[in-house]
Amino acid sequence: MEILTLTGILVLGLLAGLPIAYSLLAACLVTILLFDPGVSFGMLTQAMTTVNDSFPIMAVPFFILAGMLMGRGGISRRLFSVAVSFVGHLPGGIGVAAVITAMFFSAISGSGPATVAAVGGIMIPEMIKLGYSRRFSAALIAAAGTMGVVIPPSIPLVVFGVTTGTSIGDLFRAAILPGVLMALVLILWAVYYARSKGVAGAQKASWRERLGSLNSAKGALLLPVIILGGIYGGVFTPTEAAVVSVVYGLVIAAVFYREMPLRGYLDSFVSAAITTSALMVIVAAAAVFGRFLAVAQVPEMMLAFLTGISTNMVVIVLLVVFMLILLGTFMETIAAVTITAPILLPVLEAVGMDPVHIGVVIIMVLAIGFITPPLGVNLFIASRTAKVSADEAVMAVVPGFTLLVAASLLVAFVPFLSMAFITG
């Protein structure tokens, strides 16, 4: 009965339009008052503070700030110039360039909506100008934005690592090939669309123009290399890497690009603080909710339920993926990760999956929620930029949704794709 009350109040809160953090806390408070009023509220505050009181979680605000500094400093335009100069003349080239730009920006921002906002503002008008429909342009950019929470440095991967005690460095390594796979399936979609609609490519760039664009964007292109190379090489931890990325972003924006006014730096710090505060409240509330589920032995019940349906690993993984897709449609990714990770980790470990592999699969599937209504944040941002209705964008993104689900299943059933760079 307690579980039904807990989940019922959460769902009612979300349907009523309450922020996810308030819905989670309300569900916990009402459940305590109804079923166990003697419980100390100190347990709630302890659960809320413990999850945020860790060195690894400190990486989150710094990665957010680094992404905002680089995003406001003209990075997306330079990345776009590089991609277009090399592939823009090919069939579907501008669409391909859009996906590549989103992939590289994802390795800077660690956020899906930030990737869509930064890349879409430049790419969508260019795609429309060259003959892509507004619907498709919005759908492709929205789908490409899902890479923002998968490709390292991914903030949800950091949260998964903190929540489950899994190595964040290993999670970052494991997410590289899945992120590239997501880009590849979206590139195929862009090429198919361009060929079927007869959309021409851009004018072919000379090698001088290509080298010039590379030189202009070298600061942006080097950041993922420095950060991820430093983590993988053991030079610094993910949290230290996040701090380095902020310093690097400040130097690039202030010394080399010099496009952002002083007000832009202040806005970046303020925006990063607001975003971080909102995320940390969500993580804290989700941690309390997750503690309730653990006390109620939900992980054990979930394992018994799934194995009661089938003991076949394929069937269990398919059921988990289906549940995560449904969850991602109405719950913010960070909250969903914090709640589901402790529940699904023992379930999927029981069928032979590695914790690192599990983390990547969970994040990949939840990322699809960015393009599925009613949440669909990426879709709404892209549709506003393309000046189309959300309904039109939803219909246009169906092929992208299907391809991303297929990519997630491929990663789930082919462990090599996520474990290739994991040693020991």
5-19 residue pLDDT tens? 877 888 888 778 788
User: 242-253 pLDDT, tens per residue?
Assistant: 899 889 888 888
4-14 b/e (C-beta count within 10 Å ≥ 16 → b): eebeebbeebb
User: 73-96 pLDDT, tens per residue?
Assistant: 777 778 888 888 888 788 888 889
- Residue whose token pair is 């390795």: 107
Q: 218: buried, middle or exposed (CB in 10 Å: 19+, 13-18, 0-12)?
A: middle
Predicted confidence (pLDDT) at residue 200 exceeds the cutoff of 80: no
Calpha distance 110→333 (Å, rounded) = 13
pLDDT band at 37 (very low <50, low <70, confident <90, very high): low
Other C-beta atoms within 10 Å of 2: how many? Answer: 14
User: 276-310 pLDDT, tens per residue?
Assistant: 888 888 888 888 888 777 777 777 888 888 888 88
Looking at the chain, the whole-number percentage of residues with pLDDT higher than 90 is 25
Domain boundaries, the chain: 1-39, 55-419
pLDDT band at 319 (very low <50, low <70, confident <90, very high): very high
